[in-house]
Amino acid sequence: MEKPVYLLEDDESISELIKCTFDINGISLKAYASVKEFKAAFAARVPSVVLLDIMLGDGDGISVLKEIKETQPQVICIMLSAMGKETDKVKCLNLGADDYITKPFGILELTARVKVALRRVSGKESLLRRGDLAMNTDTMTVTLRGEKLDLNRKEFKLLHFFMINENKVLSRDEILQEVWGFDELESRTLDNHIARLRKLGVTYIETVFGVGYKFSAEGAE
């Protein structure tokens, strides 16, 4: 299930215009009018793409950009601002912004740029995101809410198998065959590895009694 794009914009008319246009184009959008609301939603579930206004009533989008890039650098950040000077754009780009669109902007251009960003996300096969989890299969690293998890190779492979099979019930034999290479291993080994992942904060692994396990991050919103 594709994650929604998050919008931080305190101008209701602009938010409504963006939302209506995105709906028509099949892009799911969640809009927030304050930094506080946006941060609460971001902490609950990390999106793939965010649109950030700069001048806001309870803060500014540049500070939000810095925080996102420090904790979740894989998130694509597109700035929306009436500040159109070259120095303003350069400042945001140097802080990690992926794009900068000056107000007033063409809504169709914005939609096109967001579609490009979403294609970039879907094309990054080495980077998986499920809920608050981010896994990079190239560097073999996993972060949970921005904090790196210390996993051994089997834990990493097990978690990867769960993440690529989100919402699918997996039998014990199926998991053992995929991760350990055979299905006659003592099942307690699997239980211990899952208990270790849960202890580290990976709460998305559900026990399906009599069958096996299921990984689901849908409740992270």
Alpha carbons 171 and 216: distance in angstroms, whole number: 15
Contact 129, 141 (CB under 8 A): no
Note whether 21 and 93 are same-domain residues. Answer: yes
User: Residue 92 belongs to a domain with what CATH number?
Assistant: 3.40.50.2300
Average per-residue pLDDT in the chain? 88
Residue 150 in this model has a pLDDT that exceeds 90:
yes
pLDDT value of residue 107: 95
Note whether 11 and 60 are same-domain residues. Answer: yes
Note whether 154 and 109 are same-domain residues. Answer: no
Q: What is the percent of the chain with per-residue pLDDT over 90, rounded to a whole number?
A: 57
Q: Tens of pLDDT along 125-136?
A: 567 888 889 998
Note whether 41 and 116 are same-domain residues. Answer: yes
Note whether 16 and 100 are same-domain residues. Answer: yes
Alpha carbons 219 and 192: distance in angstroms, whole number: 24
Note whether 118 and 10 are same-domain residues. Answer: yes
Note whether 11 and 116 are same-domain residues. Answer: yes
Note whether 192 and 174 are same-domain residues. Answer: yes
Token pair 């303003």 is at which residue? 88
pLDDT value of residue 1: 43
Domain stops at, among 105, 123, 141: 123
Residues with Cβ within 8 Å of residue 81, at least 6 apart in sequence? 53, 54, 55, 61, 88, 92, 100, 101, 102, 103
Residue 146 lies in domain: 127-220
Residues with Cβ within 8 Å of residue 8, at least 6 apart in sequence? 32, 35, 38, 50, 51, 52, 53, 56, 61, 64
Domain stops at, among 103, 123, 143: 123
Q: Tens of pLDDT along 43-52?
A: 888 888 999 9
Domain stops at, among 78, 107, 123: 123
